[in-house]
A and B are shown apart, each in its own frame.
Chain A
Amino acid sequence: MYINRVLLLVIGVALIFLPAIEGWMANSETNWYRPYLLWLLIVIAAYWNQRSRYPDEL
């Protein structure tokens, strides 16, 4: 299987910390754009991940 092992690790960690992340994000007492910061982190991680790939992996 060609599933990236780092990706699997990230998914596992995300599942463990999901309740804490959710509490941090969905809270009317804090800035409303907090979820977008997390989203931006995902974008940066995805960008970093694809840079290490070979030109044509199909």
Chain B
Amino acid sequence: MSFSLTPPLLFVVAYLTGLFTIAHLADRGIIPPRITHHPATYVLSLGVFAGAMASNGIIELAHLYGYNFLLYYLGVVLMFVMATVLLVPLLRLCRVYQLASLADVLTFRFRSPWVGATITVVMCITLLPLLALQIQAVADSVHILTGASGSLLSRHNRPDGLALLFCIIITVFSILFGTRHASSQHRNTGLVTAIAFESLTKLLAMLILLLAAIFPVFGGFDGLQQWLAESAEARRLLDQPIHGDTARALLLVFFAAAVCMPHIFHMAFAENNDSRDLRAATWGLPLYLLLLSLPILPVTWAGIKLGQNLPIDYSGLAIGLALDSVTVNAAAFTACMSAASATIIVTTLALANMCINHLVLPSNLLQIDREQSIYTQLKWLRRSLIGLLILAGYAFFITLSGSQSLVQLAVVAFTGTLQFLPGIIATPYWPGANRKGLLAGLGGGLLLWFLAMLLPLFGDYSLSLLDFLFESVSGPGEERWATATMLSLALNAGLFIAVSLLTRTSTNERVAAEICSMDEVIRPTRQTLALHSVHEFSRQLATALGENTAQTVVHQALTDLQFSPRETRPYALRRLRSRIEANLSGLLGPAVAYSIVERCIPFAPGLHGSTEDINLIERNLDRAQSRFTGVAADLDNLRRHHRETLDKLPIGVCSIGADGELLMWNRAMVHITGIASGDVLGSLLDSLVEPWRQIIGDFQRSTANTALKTEVPNATGAARWISLHKASPEDGDSANHTVILVEDITDFELLEEELLHNERLASIGRLAAGVAHEIGNPITGIACLAQNLEFETDPQEIRHTARDILRQTERVSRIVESLVNFSHAGSGAGDTRPAPANLADCVDEAIHLLALDRETRPARFSNHCDREIVVLADSQRLLQVFVNLLGNARDACDDNGQVQIRAVAQDDTVTIHVEDNGCGIPPQLQTQVFEPFYTTKDPGAGTGLGLSLVFSIMDDMGGSVQLTSPIAPPPHPGTRVTLQLPRTSYGDTFVVGAAPAGTVLE
């Protein structure tokens, strides 16, 4: 049975058109997202691993090595089962930093465009055999179906025209939907769905071949078992041991393929960013490969049994031709074509991306700063490269002219990409690795691979040195390619390690290594940006990307992070910078992205790595919580406990870094300041809103560690007070951090004001009798004068009497005014205003008020204060101080009591001494007399608040109080109270709330 050329070609076109339709429908959302985004779709798309090697070459592998062919699948199965070893860290990196290829990952890790360029060039070369393999499998299949026998597949009768036709069709298809998105940030749903469909088709086709092999060829399972028992060749295959260099090399090569082959990497990481899908793939892909491999042995045996004059790779077609079955032939051809087309499409797409990101863009071949869309330029460039790569694969295929089997081609391609394995393993696990080591290792390994693997494809180029080497290290019966594979990898790893250890690792590489590291003790360092706003970001990026693209990139990053365009917090700007680099990496590759971001959004020099990024560390720890086990989990729980304790403290806690960045802002701070922690964390202290910027900033800069009472200006007029405490650890890692505790003492202050007012009222009560008497005298006088006035006719006398009445009235008014002033003094917090006050007048007023109290013992007050002395104080509150002090002094004296008031003016202060010759205060009581409600007087005679208020008022006014007793020998030891107040003069001006340095008490 044979076909004309038209049906297979029409079948190819129809199949690929169907595939394109599926991709289009998936892209448009007509195929529901629950299907296109289902983990099963992702798992099936990973079936791209199984190219023509899995549909055809694997049969040859089974024929050569028996059960060892399973290692082709088991290598990948192991990689996915052990996903946490390499796949999870790689997916994390790719997702966060928008890395779409192996070259992206290694360029990001080793911070060198040379690494990316080298890997891209090497990848393109090593994958030419793989592309040629796919082309050869399809072309040979068409050739066989159209009537050629195995003998026709010779060097002189190759189906080159068929191969070219296939290449053109597949190129058109790859270009049509493989380049929909310019950035790797977007999942190419159409591509993923189409490849998943291809995997499903491939599986169904292989299962049809299985049924065809077992039932029509062997007549069922019993027939197969019987044939196996009788066939010596079959027994030979089954008895081959699964060990030795060949087996190890096979396992290693296909284990590494899961991350080293660009098409698998592309489907696994670039088209997926969900760990849920990867978790499904850890068992889904092994299951898929199990089903896919199940038909291999029966098909191989069927091929041996039927003995068609065809290469063993095409046993599927041999069965179809022998059975004369269109279905079986179609299944065999479909399996081959779907496998080959998927591999070619994804491989060339991935390679094209790598070429753009690591060859074209870094070399400035594309003008990316032009205003016209970068995205359009990139799409067309990618399309051209896809075409070019497929043609290169075709050229390789033509050059070989079918001289090599599918397995040979596959082995060369897979062992070539194996050379990237040391670099990939070092990415998450060895921060000490550097680019020089990587390039040296790659150079050594690839040189050996080129001489021992690639070169022999084109003829017998045996080198005596290599022959000697292989003979000396390989065991009896070992394959030359297996020995070459192990040797090249050993040379690669050896050079990589040695050169990395012997050469210096740059700072950039160390930072990138920290990011890539799987070590939990990563300590991100905080760097300071030279730019301070989102607008500046856009403006600077515009110089490299053009205005429109820069704005788009910045806007996208802001949207990703859910930040406001008005963001100015350094922490947020640092994250924005990283996000922009990641997004640009998805668009232009990590090398160009890094270069642009370094140039346009640089870090400020001099502060590199100066301090740890606490916010970032906390964020990382929060996100990594589920991964901690054992001691790490305990430590994390402890951290959370302490964090929560700090957060729930009723006292405000804020922590400030050496560069002024706010690192902590607990709930109490939010309550006290009304500023949400999310608004300030990571921002600079200077960016706080007033009055907090000034209050916390001044306190942080001051040398004092405590500010007991600081008034917080408030727009609503309601006064608030806080006390501040500061701690600056002088050792350890947080040497330059400052921790500030903020306590809201408004309630306490209001209570104190209330007490002050009550004490004042109590004083007024005590003065009441005297006041009545004082007022009574002039009133009596006024009454007498008024009576006289009634009968007076002499105008001179009337005027004289009127003046007397007025004098008496003034006396009454002065008494009343004194009382009113005293009762209102400092009744509200807002009344506290420092102003120049004449000290002697204030003392006189206090003496005058005390003179109104007739029920107490008389005492002689002597005011010796200089009349010129002016102090900076609230005169009303100062009056309260003197009333309390002089009242206490008088109460302490006997009937011959004398109270002296003196004042001494220094440069900036005035010292006032109030001395009495009373009973004095015992030393053991001197510390208690300033406490509230402490009194030595009889019950009802005093409230115990007098001296406490004196202390409090003096503290408020920036002054101080000292008490000395005794000051004279008994029997009148006496007491001296020394007050100190700021000195001023009437001409001075004052800034309210700014001055008194004394508000800070050490």
Q: Return B574 CB to nearest CB of chain A, in Å.
A: 21
Given A2-B627, A26-B66, A26-B238, A56:B276 Cβ within 8 A: yes
Surface stretch bound by A, among B279-287, B495-503, B934-942: B279-287
Q: Give the CA-CA distance A46 to B177 in the complex, in Å.
A: 34
Q: Mark B673-713, 1 if CB is under 8 A from A, else 0.
A: 00000000000000000000000000000000000000000
Given A32-B238, A36-B294, A43-B287, A57:B626 Cβ within 8 A: yes
Judging by beta carbons under 8 Å apart, are A2 and B84 in contact? yes
Q: Give the CA-CA distance A2 to B84 in the complex, in Å.
A: 7
Judging by beta carbons under 8 Å apart, are A22 and B243 in contact? yes
Most central of B66, B282, B293, B519 by chain A CB within 10 Å: B282
Q: Return B625 CB to nearest CB of chain A, in Å.
A: 9
Residue in contact with B239 in the complex, picked from A3, A28, A39, A56, CB distance below 8 Å? A28
Judging by beta carbons under 8 Å apart, are B297 and A39 in contact? no
Judging by beta carbons under 8 Å apart, are A43 and B286 in contact? yes
Does B70 have its Cβ within 8 Å of any Cβ on chain A? yes
Does B518 have its Cβ within 8 Å of any Cβ on chain A? yes
Does A17 have its Cβ within 8 Å of any Cβ on chain B? no
Interface hits, B245-297 → A, CB 8 Å? 274-276, 279-280, 282-283, 286-287, 290, 293-294, 297
Interface hits, B208-267 → A, CB 8 Å? 228, 234-235, 238-243
Q: Give the CA-CA distance A43 to B290 in the complex, in Å.
A: 9
Judging by beta carbons under 8 Å apart, are A26 and B67 in contact? yes
Which chain A positions have C-beta within 8 A of B240?
Answer: 26
Does B607 have its Cβ within 8 Å of any Cβ on chain A? no
Judging by beta carbons under 8 Å apart, are A36 and B290 in contact? yes
Q: Return B744 CB to nearest CB of chain A, in Å.
A: 40
Judging by beta carbons under 8 Å apart, are A57 and B627 in contact? yes
Judging by beta carbons under 8 Å apart, are B242 and A22 in contact? yes
Which chain A positions have C-beta within 8 A of B429?
Answer: 1
Q: Return A56 CB to nearest CB of chain B, in Å.
A: 5
Q: Give the CA-CA distance A47 to B276 in the complex, in Å.
A: 13
Which chain B positions have C-beta within 8 A of A54?
Answer: 626
Interface hits, A1-41 → B, CB 8 Å? 1-4, 7, 11, 18, 22, 25-28, 32-33, 35-36, 39-40
Number of interface residues of B (CB under 8 A): 42
Describe B's contact surface by its main secondary structure.
helix
Q: Give the CA-CA distance A28 to B228 in the complex, in Å.
A: 8
Surface stretch bound by A, among B87-95, B344-352, B374-382, B830-838: B87-95
Does B85 have its Cβ within 8 Å of any Cβ on chain A? yes
Does B81 have its Cβ within 8 Å of any Cβ on chain A? yes
Judging by beta carbons under 8 Å apart, are A35 and B234 in contact? no
Given A50-B282, A54-B626, A58-B88, A28:B290 Cβ within 8 A: no
Judging by beta carbons under 8 Å apart, are A26 and B241 in contact? yes
Which chain A positions have C-beta within 8 A of B89?
Answer: 2
Q: Return B98 CB to nearest CB of chain A, in Å.
A: 14
Q: Give the CA-CA distance A39 to B289 in the complex, in Å.
A: 10
Q: Give the CA-CA distance A33 to B88 in the complex, in Å.
A: 32
Judging by beta carbons under 8 Å apart, are B81 and A58 in contact? no
Q: Give the CA-CA distance A2 to B275 in the complex, in Å.
A: 15
Q: Return B465 CB to nearest CB of chain A, in Å.
A: 35
Q: Return A26 CB to nearest CB of chain B, in Å.
A: 5
Q: Return B210 CB to nearest CB of chain A, in Å.
A: 11
Q: Give the CA-CA distance A25 to B282 in the complex, in Å.
A: 23
Interface hits, B428-452 → A, CB 8 Å? 429
Does B82 have its Cβ within 8 Å of any Cβ on chain A? yes
Judging by beta carbons under 8 Å apart, are B84 and A32 in contact? no
Which chain A positions have C-beta within 8 A of B290?
Answer: 36, 39-40, 43
Residue in contact with A25 in the complex, picked from B67, B95, B275, CB distance below 8 Å? B67
Q: Give the CA-CA distance A7 to B282 in the complex, in Å.
A: 13
Q: Return A47 CB to nearest CB of chain B, in Å.
A: 4
Which chain A positions have C-beta within 8 A of B280?
Answer: 50
Given A42-B81, A58-B92, A26:B276 Cβ within 8 A: no
Residue in contact with B242 in the complex, picked from A2, A4, A25, CB distance below 8 Å? A25
Q: Give the CA-CA distance A26 to B244 in the complex, in Å.
A: 14
Q: Give the CA-CA distance A44 to B95 in the complex, in Å.
A: 28
Does B77 have its Cβ within 8 Å of any Cβ on chain A? yes
Q: Return A42 CB to nearest CB of chain B, in Å.
A: 6
Q: Give the CA-CA distance A56 to B627 in the complex, in Å.
A: 10
Which chain A positions have C-beta within 8 A of B293?
Answer: 36
Judging by beta carbons under 8 Å apart, are A22 and B241 in contact? yes
Which chain B positions have C-beta within 8 A of A22?
Answer: 241-243
Judging by beta carbons under 8 Å apart, are B239 and A35 in contact? no
Q: Give the CA-CA distance A32 to B294 in the complex, in Å.
A: 10
Judging by beta carbons under 8 Å apart, are A7 and B626 in contact? no
Which chain A positions have C-beta within 8 A of B626?
Answer: 54, 57
Which chain A positions have C-beta within 8 A of B239?
Answer: 26-28
Judging by beta carbons under 8 Å apart, are B238 and A49 in contact? no
Q: Return A54 CB to nearest CB of chain B, in Å.
A: 4
Judging by beta carbons under 8 Å apart, are B275 and A39 in contact? no
Interface hits, B589-624 → A, CB 8 Å? none
Q: Give the CA-CA distance A32 to B429 in the complex, in Å.
A: 40
Judging by beta carbons under 8 Å apart, are A28 and B70 in contact? no
- Nearest residue, chain A, Cβ from B94: A58
Q: Give the CA-CA distance A56 to B681 in the complex, in Å.
A: 26
Judging by beta carbons under 8 Å apart, are B241 and A58 in contact? no
Q: Give the CA-CA distance A1 to B275 in the complex, in Å.
A: 18
Judging by beta carbons under 8 Å apart, are B77 and A42 in contact? yes
Residue in contact with B275 in the complex, picked from A26, A36, A57, CB distance below 8 Å? A57
Which chain A positions have C-beta within 8 A of B77?
Answer: 39, 42
Which chain B positions have C-beta within 8 A of A44?
Answer: 283
Q: Give the CA-CA distance A54 to B92 in the complex, in Å.
A: 15
Q: Give the CA-CA distance A43 to B288 in the complex, in Å.
A: 10
Given A36-B290, A39-B286, A58:B238 Cβ within 8 A: no
Most central of B66, B95, B242, B293 by chain A CB within 10 Å: B242
Judging by beta carbons under 8 Å apart, are A53 and B67 in contact? no
Which chain B positions have C-beta within 8 A of A28?
Answer: 228, 234-235, 238-239
Which chain B positions have C-beta within 8 A of A35?
Answer: 67, 70
Q: Give the CA-CA distance A27 to B242 in the complex, in Å.
A: 11
Residue in contact with B81 in the complex, picked from A3, A32, A46, A55, CB distance below 8 Å? A46
Given A39-B286, A43-B286, A53-B279, A32:B297 Cβ within 8 A: yes
Which chain A positions have C-beta within 8 A of B92?
Answer: 58
Residue in contact with A3 in the complex, picked from B84, B235, B274, B283, CB distance below 8 Å? B84
Q: Return A28 CB to nearest CB of chain B, in Å.
A: 4
Q: Give the CA-CA distance A25 to B66 in the complex, in Å.
A: 12
Which chain B positions have C-beta within 8 A of A36?
Answer: 290, 293-294
Which chain A positions have C-beta within 8 A of B67?
Answer: 25-26, 35
Q: Return A15 CB to nearest CB of chain B, in Å.
A: 12
Interface hits, B44-100 → A, CB 8 Å? 66-67, 70, 74, 77, 80-82, 84-85, 88-89, 91-92, 95
- Nearest residue, chain B, Cβ from A33: B294
Which chain A positions have C-beta within 8 A of B74?
Answer: 39
Q: Give the CA-CA distance A7 to B80 in the complex, in Å.
A: 12
Judging by beta carbons under 8 Å apart, are B238 and A3 in contact? no
Q: Return A40 CB to nearest CB of chain B, in Å.
A: 7
Contact sample, A vs B, 25 pairs, CB 8 Å cutoff:
A2-B627, A3-B85, A22-B241, A26-B67, A26-B240, A27-B239, A28-B228, A28-B234, A28-B235, A28-B239, A32-B228, A32-B297, A36-B290, A36-B293, A39-B77, A39-B286, A40-B290, A42-B77, A43-B283, A46-B282, A50-B282, A55-B276, A56-B276, A57-B88, A57-B627
Q: Which residues of A contact B (CB under 8 A)?
A: 1-4, 7, 11, 18, 22, 25-28, 32-33, 35-36, 39-40, 42-47, 49-50, 53-58
Q: Which residues of B contact A (CB under 8 A)?
A: 66-67, 70, 74, 77, 80-82, 84-85, 88-89, 91-92, 95, 228, 234-235, 238-243, 274-276, 279-280, 282-283, 286-287, 290, 293-294, 297, 429, 518-519, 626-627
Other A-B pairs beyond A2-B89, A33-B294, A50-B283, 13, CB < 8 Å: A2-B518, A18-B243, A25-B242, A26-B67, A27-B239, A32-B238, A35-B67, A39-B74, A43-B287, A47-B283, A54-B626, A57-B627, A58-B95
Query: Which 3 residue pairs of A and B lie closest in terms of their CB atoms, listed nearest first?
Result: A46-B283, A28-B238, A54-B626
